Amino acid sequence: MSAYILRRLWQMLPTLMGVVLLVFLLFNWVGGDPAYILAGKMSNPEQIANIRAQLGVDQPYWVQLWIFVKQIVTFDFGASWSTGEAVSHVLATRLGPSLTVLVPLTILETLIAIGLALGVAYVRGSLTDRMVMIACTVGMSVSILVYIIVFQYWLAYKLGLFPVQGWGDNFAENLFHYSALPILIGLVVSIAPDLRLFRTFFLDEINQDYVRTARAKGLSEPTILWVHVLRNAAIPVVTHVMSNLPALLIGAFLIERFFSIPGIGREIILAVERSDFPVIKAITVYVAAATMLFNLLTDLLYKAIDPRVQLE
């Protein structure tokens, strides 16, 4: 197992280097020159040249790339070009609000989708199954923007069930008061596709011989579904859930913008608008690394779920 993990970690290096190179090239080709924004309204070529020198973007590309690599190795991405705030502080302070919304959302979304998918898989072909599938298709066809605008207007403003927006300095208040509506919207948007996907996983299992055997042995239907079927369908479910986890690091920028949540998603959009390369590259590298680590973790979970899986 240790050898497998070490080998996989070692294999991540070339992938990460590819990401670094791609981010660097993309930013330098299409990322815009931040000096023109930072120089202000009344700038002249001399001032712009000075700002470029301060930022280091006047250096040859290979020097800039080397600095980027050193920043990754030392975990020090310097400071934001537009605000002067240390990038480490940006990540440390913006990640919390994003996770406050997205972690409960992911847990609830997964549990609810699994429960509903097992239910509709059990009654496959019935009116209930068809109605749920139609509802899912309709739900998936509506943009998240519409959900946000409608829910914010009706549930928060008109009915007063939730705050229209806001973020406090207390975790419980943020989780139960300010995050409630964003989580609800997230659930409405994400449950439908998950439910449809998980239903197909469960349908693949529900007609297997072992299910018939379990019924013949007299096991209750809930036991058959929640123990046997779920366990056998767990590998694709885990794959799907784990592949979504790195997205937690980039937040949900629309939800954060509308509900004034000071999260990482909003920060990324701002950084792109401002051509704030230190913030963009730090987040990109961390997300790439997280994706690879979660992939590794997924493979390890396969082994835990099904001991027959060989990690080679």
| Secondary structure (3-state) at 188 | helix
- Per DSSP, the three-state class of 285 is helix
- 28 touches other proteins (CB under 8 A): no
The whole-angstrom separation of Cα 229 and Cα 215 is 12
Would you say 164 or 219 has its CB closer to other proteins? 164
* Angle of the 127-141 helix axis to the 87-122 helix axis, nearest 10: 150
Among the listed residues 23, 38, 214, 287, the single contact to other proteins using CB under 8 A: 38
Pairwise CA distance, residues 244 & 236, whole Å:
13
Closer to other proteins by CB, 75 or 157: give it.
Answer: 157
CA distances from 89 to 93, 144, 198, 213, 241 (A): 6, 30, 38, 57, 28
Cβ 175 vs Cβ 104: under 8 Å: yes
Asked if 33 is part of the footprint of other proteins (rule: CB under 8 A), the reply reads yes
Q: Which is nearer to other proteins, 132 or 254 (CB)?
A: 254
With CB under 8 A as the contact rule, the residue among 7, 9, 25, 32 that binds other proteins is: 32
d(CA 306, CA 52): 55
Q: Which is nearer to other proteins, 259 or 294 (CB)?
A: 259
Q: Does 165 bind other proteins (CB under 8 A)?
A: yes
The set of residues, in sequence order, having a beta carbon less than 8 Å from that of 86 and lying 6+ positions away, is 78, 79, 80
- Does residue number 59 form part of the binding site for other proteins (CB under 8 A)? no
Give min distance, CB of 207 to other proteins, in A. 48
User: Quick one: which of 173, 220, 231, 243 contacts other proteins (CB under 8 A)?
Assistant: 173
Does 260 bind other proteins (CB under 8 A)? Our answer is: yes
How far apart are the C-alpha atoms of 198 and 234, rounded to whole Å?
A: 9
Q: Which of 22, 25, 36, 143 binds other proteins (CB under 8 A)?
A: 36
- Side chain identity, residue 299: D
For residues 78 to 117, the per-residue mask of contacts with other proteins, x marking binding by CB under 8 A and - elsewhere, is: -x--xxxx-------xx-----------------------
- Assess 76 for contact with other proteins (CB under 8 A): no
Nearer to other proteins among residue 41 and residue 308 (C-beta): 41
User: CB 240: neighbour CB atoms within 10 A?
Assistant: 17
Query: Does residue 218 belong to the site contacting other proteins (CB under 8 A)?
Result: no
Measure the CA–CA gap between 43 and 40, rounded to whole angstroms. 6
> How many chain residues interact with other proteins (CB under 8 A)?
49
Interface with other proteins includes 140 (CB under 8 A)?
no
- Cβ pair 212, 258 in contact under 8 A: no
The encoded tokens of residue 283 equal 């987040």
Question: Which residues of this protein are in contact with other proteins, per CB under 8 A?
Answer: 32-34, 36-45, 47-48, 50-51, 54, 79, 82-85, 93-94, 149, 152-153, 156-157, 164-170, 173, 257-262, 266-267, 270, 273, 275
